[in-house]
Amino acid sequence: MYYFSGTGNTKWVADRFKENFALDNINIDLVNIESVEDNKLKKYDFFIIGSPVYAEFPPKIVTDFLNKFDDSKKKVKIIVYSTQAASSSSAPCFMAKCLRKKGYLPLIQISIKMPNNYYFFVGKKPDKNEIKELLLKANKKVKDVVKNFINEEPVIETASFIRIQFNKMIYNIFKSRIPKLSKNISSTKECGKCGLCLRNCPQGNITFEEGRAIFHSKCILCLKCIYICPINAVRYKGKKIEQTQKDIIRVLDLNR
Ligand SMILES: Cc1cc2nc3c(=O)[nH]c(=O)nc-3n(C[C@H](O)[C@H](O)[C@H](O)COP(=O)(O)O)c2cc1C
């Protein structure tokens, strides 16, 4: 399984896949795509790809990874899933299409609704009960699709052509606004320079200057820095953000 996860949701789901496949004595190796240097894949029986959704599509770090994915000569089966705040997105269709072109066979293509980590920009802040309920439902969905996969029953969630085309427009607008949006991230003078954000930024976008964390121009808006800061000193538009992902982000294998 290859995954990217900014604030833990996609990794949380990855762990559920691993757990549920283990019940059938199938071992899943979890690989964070940030740690993949070349895309020479080992020989596996099947692959799982997991991604969060940023403006309806996977972030660039995931699409770059998929574009470099080795071709498959033998129609190796794949599972693709996205996690997002809404019930669905165009991301699984996009990921499956990309891998189908390379000779893979998408057997499971699904969206999994998870807590909204960008509620301070769009949508509603998830409360504790809602988060609990979302995790229960996500777990059930993973359990069900693992059974489907083992029984070779396809589960393909699609999005209409019009939705995908419209969302492409939204994504392109979002992409062009990332540099501006990422300027909204800053740290306060309370920053203890512990280095956790610096060591775990997927873009290597953070340095320490003048006694605090400074965010440069390579940000992809994954929001990891906001949610992992142990003293909640990373601001968005100067505002303190309630760290609603605090429990979930613990599932990431962080560089301590
Ligand atoms: C920059 C950004 C854009 C997002 N856009 C969407 C979106 O278009 N639709 C949606 O349902 N959720 C959106 N979300 C919410 C995330 O997709 C969701 O919380 C996801 O599960 C986060 O996964 P992660 O914790 O593995 O990073 C967005 C989040 C971020 C940070």
Please report whether residue 196 resides in a domain.
yes
Domain count, the chain: 2
Identify the domain boundary among 163, 195, 210: 163
| Residues 244 and 211 both lie in one domain | yes
| Residues 15 and 132 both lie in one domain | yes
pLDDT bin (cut points 50, 70, 90) of residue 74 is confident
Q: Answer yes or no: is the C-beta of 88 below 6 A from any ligand 1 atom.
A: no
Structure-token pair, residue 51: 């991604």
Q: Answer yes or no: is the C-beta of 8 below 6 A from any ligand 1 atom.
A: yes
Q: Is 230 a residue whose pLDDT tops 80?
A: yes
Q: Answer yes or no: is the C-beta of 117 below 6 A from any ligand 1 atom.
A: yes
| Residues 129 and 240 both lie in one domain | no
Please report whether residue 169 resides in a domain.
no
- How many angstroms does the Cα of residue 151 sit away from the middle of ligand 1? 31
| Residues 189 and 134 both lie in one domain | no
Residue 68 is part of a domain; what is its CATH number? 3.40.50.360
| Residues 25 and 137 both lie in one domain | yes
Rounded to whole angstroms, the Cα distance separating 211 from 213 reads 7
Residue nearest to atom 16 of ligand 1 (CA): 84
Identify the domain boundary among 130, 163, 196: 163
Q: Is 248 a residue whose pLDDT tops 90?
A: yes
Please report whether residue 256 resides in a domain.
no
pLDDT bin (cut points 50, 70, 90) of residue 55 is very high
Asked if residue 202 lies in contact with residue 224, where contact means CB atoms within 8 angstroms, the answer is yes
The residue to mutate among 82, 84, 93, 166, having the most atoms of ligand 1 within 8 angstroms of its beta carbon, is 84
Q: Which amino acid is at 233?
A: A
Q: Is 42 a residue whose pLDDT tops 80?
A: no
| Residues 137 and 100 both lie in one domain | yes
* Residue found under tokens 């990332």: 178
> Range of 219's domain?
182-251
| Residues 59 and 142 both lie in one domain | yes
Higher pLDDT, 18 or 41: 18
Q: What's the whole-number average pLDDT of the chain?
A: 95
| pLDDT digit string, tens, across residues 150-202 | 999 999 999 999 999 999 999 999 999 999 999 999 999 999 899 999 999 99
Asked if residue 21 lies in contact with residue 28, where contact means CB atoms within 8 angstroms, the answer is yes
How buried is residue 194: exposed, middle or buried, by Cβ count under 10 Å (0-12/13-18/19+)?
Answer: middle
| Residues 105 and 187 both lie in one domain | no
| Residues 27 and 55 both lie in one domain | yes
| Residues 158 and 237 both lie in one domain | no
Give the model's pLDDT for residue 101: 95
pLDDT bin (cut points 50, 70, 90) of residue 20 is very high
Give the model's pLDDT for residue 39: 64
Identify the domain boundary among 118, 135, 163: 163
Q: Which DSSP category does 102 fall into? A: T
Residue 245 is part of a domain; what is its CATH number? 3.30.70.20
Asked if residue 223 lies in contact with residue 117, where contact means CB atoms within 8 angstroms, the answer is yes
- Please give the distance of CA 221 from its chain centroid, rounded to a whole number: 11
Rounded to whole angstroms, the Cα distance separating 107 from 149 reads 7
Please report whether residue 168 resides in a domain.
no
Q: Answer yes or no: is the C-beta of 85 below 6 A from any ligand 1 atom.
A: yes
Q: Is 121 a residue whose pLDDT tops 80?
A: yes
| pLDDT digit string, tens, across residues 137-151 | 999 999 999 999 999
| Residues 27 and 103 both lie in one domain | yes
| Residues 155 and 203 both lie in one domain | no
